[in-house]
């Protein structure tokens, strides 16, 4: 376990400063938007969402780079010589990348709250609700939104873990080619094949595991009604079948085992 912690620290030292610098840029961007929100009224939603769109692309690029950098920086012989299982390397890289993406997601969430929600909540008023009921409703709505985030986070981590595993294994498998020529195209082909296998595999396992109970993924709360006398509080929950989710989890675990095996036994410098 100490070896795993040492690998984690190495990854954090390597990528921490860049991640903090990017988070700083995102925070500065949120502050700019907050100060110009009156003037840029219509432009605020796209300008707020724009950096969020880049985060998944950044994750995929960093997943690809995390292994490539070891080989191009000629540190790979050190990594391969370490007396640790291959999954230590894979998991430490993935966890640090997850931490980085989590940091960006937290900054994005804070920015959305600051720019789009904070002031509206302070000046909230409704002709139908008294101030105390209105405030209680807002608190309940925010709590529901928070619970939705909590429900979605494990699914998001699973999807990122699957994407990381696919990129990791396709890159490692392309190193099995004896010549460096053609490795990139082989890597892309394997990437497509593994992506397809995971998608179709989750579908097949979803059919096989259809007996599993449904799981909640999001919750919502709002008020409906036409007059102050006839108001309804609607509490709604979105659920999905657990089968495909469990299927994807099993396939991802298998992919990490395969990546670990390739790293320990087959891949060379």
Which residues of this chain interact with other proteins, rule CB under 8 A? 133, 170, 173, 176-177, 186, 189-190, 192-197, 199-200, 202-203, 206-207, 210, 214, 217, 223, 225, 231-241, 243-245, 262, 266
Smallest separation, CB 235 to other proteins (Å): 5
C-beta closer to other proteins: residue 95 or 258 = 258
Calpha distance 69→82 (Å, rounded): 17
C-beta closer to other proteins: residue 13 or 235 = 235
Smallest separation, CB 206 to other proteins (Å): 4
Smallest separation, CB 223 to other proteins (Å): 7
C-beta closer to other proteins: residue 26 or 202 = 202
C-beta closer to other proteins: residue 72 or 236 = 236
Smallest separation, CB 268 to other proteins (Å): 10
Smallest separation, CB 39 to other proteins (Å): 37
CB 79 within 8 A of CB 268: no
Calpha distance 88→72 (Å, rounded): 20
C-beta closer to other proteins: residue 15 or 168 = 168
C-beta closer to other proteins: residue 20 or 228 = 228
Smallest separation, CB 73 to other proteins (Å): 24
Calpha distance 219→224 (Å, rounded): 16
Smallest separation, CB 123 to other proteins (Å): 22
C-beta closer to other proteins: residue 27 or 142 = 142
Q: HEC states along the chain?
A: CHHHHHHHHHHHHHHHHHHHHHHHHHHHHHHHHHHCCCCCHHHHHHHHHHHHHHHHHHHHHHHHHHHHHHHHCCCHHHHHHCCCCHHHHHHHHHHHHHHHHHHHHHHHHHHHHHHHHHHHHHCCCCCCCCHHHHHHHHHHHHHHHHHHHHHHHHHHHHHHHHHHHHHHHHHHHHCCCCCCCCHHHHHHHHHHHHHHHHHHHHHHHHHHCCCCCEEEEEEEEEEEECCCCCEEEEEEEEEEEHHHHHHHHHHHHHHHHHHHHHHHHHCCC
């Amino acid at each position: 376990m100490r070896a795993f912690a040492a690998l984690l620290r190495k990854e954090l030292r390597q990528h921490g400063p860049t991640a903090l610098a990017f988070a700083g840029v995102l925070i500065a961007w949120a502050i700019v938007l907050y100060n110009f929100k009156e003037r840029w009224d219509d432009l605020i939603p796209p300008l707020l969402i724009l950096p969020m769109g880049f985060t998944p692309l950044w994750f995929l690029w960093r997943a690809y780079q995390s292994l490539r950098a070891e080989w191009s920086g000629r540190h790979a012989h050190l990594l391969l010589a370490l007396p640790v299982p291959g999954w230590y390397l894979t998991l430490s890289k993935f966890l640090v990348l997850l931490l980085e993406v989590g940091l960006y997601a937290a900054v994005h969430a804070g920015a959305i709250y600051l720019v789009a929600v904070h002031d509206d909540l302070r000046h909230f008023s409704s002709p139908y609700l008294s101030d105390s009921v209105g405030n209680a409703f807002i608190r309940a709505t925010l709590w529901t939104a928070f619970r939705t985030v909590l429900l979605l986070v494990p699914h998001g981590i699973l999807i990122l873990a699957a994407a990381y595993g696919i990129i990791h294994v396709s890159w490692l498998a392309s190193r099995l080619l004896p010549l460096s020529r053609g490795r990139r195209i082989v890597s892309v082909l394997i990437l497509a094949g593994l992506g397809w296998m995971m998608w179709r595999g989750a579908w097949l396992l979803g059919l096989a595991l259809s007996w599993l109970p449904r799981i909640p993924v999001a919750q919502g709360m709002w008020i409906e009604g036409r007059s102050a006398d006839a108001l309804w509080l609607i509490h709604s929950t979105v659920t999905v079948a657990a089968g495909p989710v469990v299927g994807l989890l099993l396939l991802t675990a298998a992919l990490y085992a395969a990546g670990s095996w390739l790293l320990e036994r087959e891949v060379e410098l």
